Structure 1
Amino acid sequence: MDNLGRYDAIVLGAGVVGASTAWHLAQAGLSVALVDAEGPAAAASGASDGAVSVASKKPGPLARLATASLVYTRALAETGPLAQAYHPRPSYIFGTGPDETAAMDALIAKLDALGDAVRLRRDGGAGVLPGTGPGVERLLELTGEGHMPGYAAVAGYLSDPRIARIWPARVLGLDETDGSVTVNLGHQRLSAPRVIAALGTATPVLFPGLPVLPRAGQLFVTDRGQPGALPGALTSAAYLLAKTTNPAVLPRPPVVIDPLTTGQYLVGSTREDHADPTRVDFATLQQLMIRAAETWPALRARRVIRAFAGVRAAVSDSLPIVGLAPGSARITLATGFEGDGICLSAVIGREVARMATGMAPAADLLADLATLSPARFPSLQESVA
């Protein structure tokens, strides 16, 4: 880098996907600038439940990419940047009624097709996990998944001192020429031959044609208690249905009960089409509380100390957008992960770094990554052309 603000690569967005991409670019020997409007993990990555979950992913490309990313995350946790961030733990899927039971059957078939990275250990009633309540008719115990708070993963990726951190800095515009892209930050300009935009909900500001929309989720956190009673997250099968069904017609509210290392519980979350992180309401939280307490009765002895909303970047067809921006040869997009970014961040960061440096994606991921390309929106391509 010189005093003109020139880098080999510039990453826009210091969430978990952007931080992973910056780390992988630095590992390739490139000088990297990581830019964010507020700071690291300031948006969806900092408000996530941290589940590294294959089970919760939409069947098809996302589930296969999540499986590859889980395996790679484990490797990065052994001797790499995720050593203090990722922790293996069991996970549980519970359900009541025929719709959720059918979703659980579909999950078992999906895991069988994905190999042995995540395995079904037990399939039964509430007795599979002592402490569950009358809201559980069927319970699956899975092994192989893990937990990785977004802020911890971002901190791990940013441990590489070769990444220049630039925040708070809002991107006002991008100017692409034959040889480089100039990033206008108002008070300064940066230039690089490659730019990666991992902007989350801010994506439409710079790329207004992309069908990226905000989707909020309400959550609450309890007070502290004795940790360890619940060894892993309890996820309702309604959450699996929400990946493929209109949330407004779900038979029961989706809920995830996540035990924290502090002895607290994080419980969420809804899926609401708005961008207001301050919008929480008692009626919605009450629905979450009722189902959570029916599932894990120990919650009745806890107090709610905080209720909040996290806003995630979603895409109209429920798949992320990863690939060259329409009409660009130097700007790569990595956005729209809507709750899947924590799990996918390791492999997406690696593969986006490969794309940005002109390398082909890993052969076994090539077809699935192609389904995430912006080229799947023909009207967008035509409007840019």
Structure 2
Amino acid sequence: MHTEFDVAVLGAGIVGAATAWHLAQQGARVIVIDATGPAAAASGASDGAVSVASKKPGVLARLATESLLYTRIMAKNGPLAGQFHARPSWYFATNDVELEALDALRAKLLALDGPVRIGQDGGPDLLAGVGVSVRRLVEIRGEGHMTGYSAVRAYLDDRRIARRWPAAITDIDPDTTGVTLSLAGGDDLRVGRVVVALGVSTPMLFPEMPVRPLSGHLIITDKPQSGALAGALTAGAYLIAKTSSGTGSSERPVVIDPLITGQMLIGSSRVPEADAARMDFTTILHLVRQAAAIWPALSERRIIRTFVGVRAAVQDGLPIVGPMDHRGRVVMATGFEGDGICLSSLIGREVAAMVLGLAPTPALDRELAALSPTRFIHTAREAAE
């Protein structure tokens, strides 16, 4: 049967968009399909940090390091020109548990020996304007920021990429020569291969993939009258929440992030639910009070918007990336739980290579193998037996 496209990328978030761009660079006929539109989910509701420091030690931290380096290249002579901006960031501790988290952060970055380095490390006097509850500050140098929806648009601006939305996929049927996609409304589309970058929607088509939603409350302020902040201020509790099953701290993992507009983004809760329309006033109030205690200049600002973003999380804390079977007709690229902005450029490149049968980057073999969906397929089969 004739295939209309070599590859269909399902999901127009930043990972799907980056994958489509890399496929188009290799001459593949590629279409991006989304139920709503570009950056409609997690990619459009993120802080945009391209951060190694916040990643879980091991596989994710190593991949984030490589992705940061590649993102810099893409920003010099690729689609991310004008999207990625280098900037410092700060991690702070207000209690003993967070102090230990900052020690672990320092050890992790020293072990990685990559482009992300510790700058200043000391008391609250290192950064003018922090609140009296801050006991320690660690400056991180070498990272950066890019707005998710803007980066998605930059990738999809490539005229070689076909687009189709709103268009919901109701079924995927791979065979020995290609894949038939069934779309809502009764249409079918025949393609050679499929990349699944559906985030929290992944289990609707692949129930064996343990992707679950984690929602986070986010707050946007107006522009400042005073109290400028050059980079994000992130609680040590956030590091603990990202690297273990619990926060380990009595405080919620607040992040205070300056946007390129001059506004501030304050976040974020981590709640196991998927209702982006559900706003909890108590959580918002707690985050605002906590943020104002850390950066008192926020007290002079007005809140102009609050919303809930939904992340796609996986039970073992690692995203799902790789072919579903030996034929490689269906390749997963999902479950990034807030790490998609940072990892997107690298994952897009490597997934495109997988789909086209090209050699992956040799230095990443072990890390990519750890993300393979087969780790869950085998478990599901064993449970069924």
TM-score by length of 1: 0.96
185-194 or 25-34, which deviates more: 185-194
1:283 shift after superposition: 1.4
- Contact 1:247–1:271, Cα closer than 8 Å, also in 2: no
Please name the residue that 1:213 is paired with. Answer: 212
TM-score by length of 2: 0.96
1:145 aligns with 2:164: no
| Distance (whole Å) between structure 1 residues aligned to residue 382 and residue 333 of structure 2 | 21
| Distance (whole Å) between structure 1 residues aligned to residue 382 and residue 359 of structure 2 | 26
Please name the residue that 1:87 is paired with. Answer: 85
What amino acid maps onto 1:13 in structure 2?
A: G
The 5-angstrom pairing of residues 52-131 of structure 1 reads 52-131=50-129
1:189 shift after superposition: 2.1
| Distance (whole Å) between structure 1 residues aligned to residue 227 and residue 16 of structure 2 | 33
Please name the residue that 2:372 is paired with. Answer: 373
Percentage identity across paired residues of the two chains: 57
| Distance (whole Å) between structure 2 residues aligned to residue 315 and residue 157 of structure 1 | 26
1:379 shift after superposition: 1.8
1:246 shift after superposition: 3.4
What amino acid maps onto 1:313 in structure 2?
A: A
What amino acid maps onto 1:374 in structure 2?
A: P
| Distance (whole Å) between structure 1 residues aligned to residue 243 and residue 326 of structure 2 | 31
Please name the residue that 1:298 is paired with. Answer: 297
Please name the residue that 1:42 is paired with. Answer: 40
Please name the residue that 1:154 is paired with. Answer: 152
| Distance (whole Å) between structure 1 residues aligned to residue 326 and residue 383 of structure 2 | 10
Please name the residue that 1:19 is paired with. Answer: 17
What amino acid maps onto 1:201 in structure 2?
A: V
1:177 shift after superposition: 1.2
| Distance (whole Å) between structure 1 residues aligned to residue 370 and residue 47 of structure 2 | 26
1:66 shift after superposition: 0.3
What amino acid maps onto 2:364 in structure 1?
A: L
Q: Deviations over 1:49-104 (max 9, x none)?
A: 00000000011000000000000000000011001211111111111111111111
Q: Deviations over 1:184-206 (max 9, x none)?
A: 11343222221100000000010
1:174 aligns with 2:160: no
What amino acid maps onto 1:62 in structure 2?
A: L
Structure 1 residues 280 and 182: alpha-carbon distance in aligned structure 2, compared to 1, 3 A threshold: same
SS at match of 2:269: coil
SS at match of 2:257: strand
1:230 aligns with 2:233: no
| Distance (whole Å) between structure 2 residues aligned to residue 383 and residue 281 of structure 1 | 38
| Distance (whole Å) between structure 1 residues aligned to residue 325 and residue 219 of structure 2 | 39
47-56 or 254-263, which deviates more: 254-263
| Distance (whole Å) between structure 1 residues aligned to residue 346 and residue 313 of structure 2 | 19
1:380 shift after superposition: 2.1
Please name the residue that 1:283 is paired with. Answer: 282
SS at match of 1:8: strand
Please name the residue that 2:324 is paired with. Answer: 325
SS at match of 1:319: coil
Q: Please, which runs of 5 or more residues in structure 1 have no aligned partner?
A: none
Please name the residue that 2:341 is paired with. Answer: 342
Q: Deviations over 1:3-55 (max 9, x none)?
A: x7611111000000000000000000111000000100000000000000000
- Contact 1:23–1:157, Cα closer than 8 Å, also in 2: yes
CA RMSD of aligned residues (A): 1.7
What amino acid maps onto 2:79 in structure 1?
A: P
| Distance (whole Å) between structure 2 residues aligned to residue 295 and residue 185 of structure 1 | 49
- Contact 1:326–1:380, Cα closer than 8 Å, also in 2: no
SS at match of 1:172: strand
What amino acid maps onto 2:56 in structure 1?
A: K
1:249 shift after superposition: 4.8
What amino acid maps onto 1:380 in structure 2?
A: A
- Contact 1:242–1:250, Cα closer than 8 Å, also in 2: no
What amino acid maps onto 1:316 in structure 2?
A: Q
Across the two proteins, how many residue pairs are aligned to each other?
Answer: 383
Q: Deviations over 1:137-169 (max 9, x none)?
A: 100111111111100110111121000011000
Please name the residue that 2:254 is paired with. Answer: 255
1:226 shift after superposition: 4.4
1:250 shift after superposition: 2.8
Q: Please, which runs of 5 or more residues in structure 2 have no aligned partner?
A: none
- Contact 2:193–2:329, Cα closer than 8 Å, also in 1: yes
- Contact 1:5–1:191, Cα closer than 8 Å, also in 2: yes
SS at match of 2:53: coil
